[in-house]
Structure 1
């Protein structure tokens, strides 16, 4: 039996299936016997313990996972949630029941809102389970501890579970939900785990059954034959004729710098060891997560200086605070929003709190002056030339030498000529650009086929930006998950992209694929992809 989903990476995995355990049973709705203040103290203690545990997990995880897990940690300290738990205990409930009902209420509300809020329903549900487990004195549900390697199948994974996957034991990952740009997919790629996500038909796979995952094909074969396994391994060998570590280069010598996506200075050394030619995305909000007040200019300057010093003479592209939606920051309040993904995110939020943005730009300019790195600074979620002009002017005022914008909103691509008449460069965030172009929640398995950066509509927007970059003589890069897909990376180059930034674990595969194509061939592949009607057709035409 052959099942289809969306592959993460290009590897294969063969092994027996193990399922994620069921959630903890719902606490019994019975009158409490202890005093209300005692029960509330128990709840507060459990919330605090889970918060500290998640914060420590985030610190150990680093990379893509750190900010996601820190956001989970912050959920435990939400004043409205704590007030709700208190009220339910005062009404006669136990701590376990009050926590269950309060977290369930928030989870249902997020699911009902859809879009980006629904992205966090899995996260809030996981936090609630952890708090209840702490109250009961048991281990929370998570990746099962079994002997021997296995392929894990789950409805979806909470960030803390995805970050904790042991690559020595988990051969591969199948999820029923999620898409190619979901948190699960991003974390699996960053850990180098073979995954096929959005496999909605996988519910019937019996635990213990052997499966073959082929991420390059986006397929799951149930009970594969020896011939099918051999064929998959041959395809893998063909994909992995790796070129030596070195700069990103096409077959004709055209340079395509391969840059790293990182969140903290501590991740820079790993990226450099894997061949990063610089940094294409520094997610500065990870340095702010959990802070109740904005760090001072001096504090920020010290962090940035430490990072820049690790890349002398190389490009380091810093994104200013991308607050809001799934990355809330306490000192940048946006107020209640029914759909935060379409609300005060990125430049919209920092423009409302310009003092915070000014401090960050001042710290970046000062750190740049102290090191030999080639520092570029960009604003996220820029919609048009007016926002580009606002940011570039402010950045120049604060001493930033190279100021650009991120193209994540379709309107930015549609206005590419005007935007690149102002900004020094553009970096395309393909995760959000895809989500907004196709109106497809990147966490939702039922629309995973839409949330695919191979879709010709997304590629046409990339071409608009690439063409505008060529006409203006200004660079256009990609720093979304699309850059880590080796064959799609070639197509992006054919569309006019001049640099690619990704999780460092993807360097080898992308470097190898680029070396197989000339610029002329990359452009021919891009033409084929643009002529397709769907993402699946574009992918198939280019593979042929």
Structure 2
């Protein structure tokens, strides 16, 4: 953080601390853009009971107390499911997963035991949540991502039990910037981009659920901003999502001028309508990440050529039983029909770890992030994969489309070979995700078995850097600009070029317009991200020829940290 004490100070009326005007806070950039507006913050969370001071419920009332908790948890889950039904893309997925957490068997079972032992429902919810928060934090990795979600569910259930409104983000009556320590996906998914112009959090990382949803909404976003809690509500701040800077009470004329410049730039970008090519005509497919038929139809109105990642988890999450082949077929048909004749890449079930299946009990894993998830679930539940492939093949036959299918969490050439055989038996085009460093290192052998690969930069970065992507302290490590991650992508891109097979990127890195140029310079042939980012990425690529993309890639690879990589790539592209 840097500060310039050359103007009046801003003082929080509830504290003696002050934040000098023109103070600049820095964090990790997530979504480029400029916003200048007053700060708002999430509403007050309910008081969490202290187990030590809680009254003991009489024996005769404990059954009724348990029923009171069950009813509250069900109401919270139903409200979250309703919001999931109205949302699209990642927002729908995370809301559905959070709804499932409200009725998770492990958590609700622990609450129930505490109530039987004499705790009130409110105290039991607080105590059980604390136990699970400790467990998730100890496990780390993607399980640690559930901490924010669980605390959000805890607060919603306690609020329901107490008869007070559920906590959440206020609905501003004027354009504002939302600042918070952290935000649950349930809060972020409901934001109105017309009124919430910027998003800044003290915690989180560039690939957290909050960051991903911010990209989907197109809201300028910066995370891991230390000292943010010192900025009072109502203070006007300038958010520069591209630079990762927040300026407190900037010069109003300069701030409004930056806003106008950004608006003009955004209007120019909005005129881009594809197809994706570099300035010298090298084709680069610009694709969309979608979640279901609704999000696919919405994506079809954006300047994208197809779907580079159809996450199929939404059909499975929050289900007590596995969806039938016919049920799955109907879901896949909707997505295929949204892009007739276009490219559609379907990822098979990527469950496990932070996305547990109610109908597939995988037991307790010491480290779920490195456990049975993605394709590995097929080892213990082979019917899940074959049923899904049968449904995709049926949807393809019914629509006359030719979807590509890829498996997540592949680590060996043998896994790729076995998956490819299952796909080819059904007339499907097989591919795999490159999310594990081993898959990048073995890219030539894996590409010999499949027809394409797609790099999931979120997990690839997390596994390469051994850093929890939800940790604000490690946000710099989970930055996809890390040169170590770029080197692995270079290996995959080179292997794809040698084999003359497509190499896509479907992680959040594909939404960064400058990084998109670097990825193309590394050999990536398609970029798939939130539909809202397609025009920004496409327009930036249209201004850079392949030689400049390769120069930017080489410049980034020659650095040793993400900040230097960004600066070197930007300089090479402008040269």
* Same fold per superposition (TM over 0.5): yes
Contact 1:65 1:163 in 2 (8 A): yes
Q: 1:396 — aligned with what? A: 424
Task: State how many pairs are aligned.
Answer: 543
Q: Does 1:481 find its partner at 2:503?
A: no
Q: Describe the SS at the equivalent of 1:151.
A: strand
The counterpart of 2:496, out of the listed 469, 494, 516, is 469
Aligned counterpart, 1:14:
36
Aligned residue for 2:16? none
Q: Are residue 315 (structure 1) and residue 332 (structure 2) matched?
A: no
Residues 301-312 of structure 1: pairs in structure 2 closer than 5 A = 301-312=329-340
SS at match of 1:17: strand
| 1:377–1:400 contact (8 Å) kept in structure 2 | no
Match of 1:116 in 2: 142
* Counterpart for residue 131 of structure 1: 157
Which residue of structure 2 aligns with residue 273 of structure 1? 301
What is the CA–CA distance in structure 2 between the aligned matches of 1:25 and 1:306, rounded to whole Å? 44
The CA distance in 1 between the partners of 2:313 and 2:338, in whole Å, is 20
Residue 558 of structure 2 corresponds to residue 536 of structure 1? no
Find the partner of 1:284 among 312, 323, 336: 312
> Which residue of the partner structure matches residue 4 of structure 2?
none
Q: How far did residue 326 of structure 1 move?
A: 1.5
More displaced 10-residue stretch of structure 1: 191-200 or 33-42: 33-42
Give the deviation of 1:373 after TM superposition. 2.6
TM-score, normalised relative to structure 1: 0.97
Cα drift, residue 530 of structure 1: 0.5
- C-alpha distance 220-422 of structure 1, shift in aligned 2 (>3 A): same
Quick check: 2:289–2:310 contact (8 Å CA) kept in 1?
A: yes
Aligned pair 1:501/2:565, yes or no? Answer: no
The within-5 A match list for 1:109-508 is 109-226=135-252, 228-229=254-255, 232-233=258-259, 236=262, 239-240=265-266, 241-242=268-269, 243-397=271-425, 399-508=426-535
Aligned-residue CA RMSD in angstroms? 1.6
Aligned residues of 1:364 and 1:400 also touching (Cα < 8 A): no
The alpha carbon displacement at 1:415 in A equals 0.6
Post-superposition offset of 1:514: 0.6
SS in 2 for 1:452: coil
**Are the counterparts in 2 of residues 85 and 98 from structure 1 also a CA contact under 8 Å?**
yes
Tell me the CA shift for residue 406 of structure 1: 0.3
Confirm or deny: 8 A CA contact 1:176 1:199 kept in the other structure.
yes
Structure 1: distance between partners of 2:46 and 2:493: 50
In the superposition, the TM-score normalised over structure 2's length comes to: 0.92
Give the distance between the partners of 1:313 and 1:114, measured in 2 at CA: 42
Contact between 1:321 and 1:350, CA under 8 Å: does it hold in 2?
no
CA distance in 1, matches of 2:165, 2:349: 36
Contact 1:292 1:331 in 2 (8 A): yes
| Residues 332/400 of structure 1: CA separation in 2 closer, same or farther (3 Å cut) | farther
Provide the rounded CA distance (Å) in 1 between the counterparts of 2:480 and 2:86. 30
Distance 1:51 1:155, change over 3 A: same
Q: Deviations over 1:167-205 (max 9, x none)?
A: 222121110111111100001111111111111231221
Q: Which residue of 1 aligns with 2:72?
A: 46
SS of 2:338's equivalent in the other structure is: coil
Question: 21-30 or 110-119: which moved more?
Answer: 21-30
Q: Distance in 1 between matches of 2:116 and 2:280?
A: 72
Shift of 1:513: 0.3
Q: Which moved more, 1:122-131 or 1:342-351?
A: 342-351
- Distance, in Å, in 2 between the alignment partners of 1:400 and 1:155 is 49
Distance 1:19 1:88 in 2: 33
Runs of at least 5 residues in structure 1 that lack an aligned partner in the other structure: none
Q: Aligned equivalents of 1:441 and 1:231: distance in 2?
A: 38
Deviates more, 1:489-498 or 1:221-230: 221-230
For the structure 1 residues 37 and 237, does the alpha-carbon distance in structure 2 shift closer, same or farther, using more than 3 Å as the test? Answer: closer
Distance 1:146 1:311 in 2: 37
8 Å Cα contact 1:200/1:445 also seen in 2: no
